Each structure stands twice: as C-alpha cells, then as structure tokens.
Amino acid sequence: MTKIHIKKGDKVKVIAGDDKGTEGEVLRIIRDKYRAVVKGVNIVKRHIKPSAQNPQGKIVEMEAPIHISNLMLIDPKTETPTRISRKRDEKGNPIRVSKKSNEII
C-alpha cells in the first residue's frame, strides 16, 4: 500500500470528479480502500427505514468517501493547493513539507 499524503483534519481541494474545485476538511481516512471522507464533498442521500425512534423514516444527506487521488492538500501558509514531499526532522521522525513554500505542514 502506498503512503497517504493527507491526514484527518487537513484542508483539501477536490481536483477531479463531480465536486471538482470544492474545498473541505478531512473527517476520516479509510486506509484499506485508499479513500477519505471530506466535509461537504460527495454528498449522497440515504433512506432510513421507519423504526421505533424514527416512526416516519426519513432521507438523510451524508458525505460519502472519495478516492484520495482526487484530493490535493491545501498549504496552510499560502492557502493554495500544493504537492508534498516527505523528509525527516533532526530526531528522524517523518514530516510533510510543502513543495510550493518549502514549509513544514
């Protein structure tokens, strides 16, 4: 499995698909399927069956997972989409670095 360039809480921009151009925050990552759930992106409708708590049933709008290759990280300093590189800090821990601004993300 390849490394994932985004993490939960990152601000991302959609670069392909029906929601192209929209931005949102990553709510969760699904590592085994290489997908992410982004707030306000890829909204789908789900029908809820009637139950004791919900006697009428209803239609719920929720975010569906989107493939990570369709997302691009937004650099917190410049507020523009950027690619990232991976480097190591002085302790040897991996860090993400913006290709545009050379700043640590």
pLDDT in single tens digits along all 105 residues of the chain:
568 889 999 999 999 999 999 999 999 999 999 999 999 999 999 999 999 998 999 999 999 999 999 999 999 888 899 999 999 989 989 999 999 888 888
DSSP symbols for 18-86: TTTT-EEEEEEEETTTTEEEETTSSEEEEEEPP-SS-SS-EEEEEEPPEEGGGEEEBPTTT-SB--EEE
Nearest Cα to 46, choosing from 30, 27, 63?
63
| CATH 3.20.20.70 for domain 11-98 | no
Cα separation, 75 vs 78, in Å, equals 6
Cα separation, 59 vs 72, in Å, equals 31
* pTM confidence score: 0.82
